[in-house]
Amino acid sequence: MDAAFIRKSGKEQDEGGQIANVQSMLKDIGAQVAAEYWFVGTVSRRKVRANAEFIRPMELVGADRVGTVYVES
């Protein structure tokens, strides 16, 4: 199973564009991420490692439940 993480810097920021970019990337490489494995964190880049929505997919990786976490670059 794979996951995706979207980081946005403020609540007013629309994550739709980032999600569309990651979905396009996934399509290009023939990968899929189930809806329950998409995570959106509202946090600055500097504090992302302490964000609960970032920690969740990392814990799944640590538990060998997720192999790859995709992010928009």
pLDDT value, residue 34:
97
- pLDDT, tens digit (0-9, with 9 covering 90-100), for 18-64: 999 999 999 999 999 999 999 999 999 999 999 999 999 999 999 99
pLDDT value, residue 32:
95
Q: For 30, left (φ over 0), alpha (ψ -120 to 50), or beta?
A: left
71 φ, ψ (degrees, to nearest 5): -135, 160
The structural domain count of the chain equals 1
The sheet with strand 68-71 has its strands ordered as 38-42, 2-8, 68-71
Q: Containing domain of residue 65, as a range?
A: 2-71
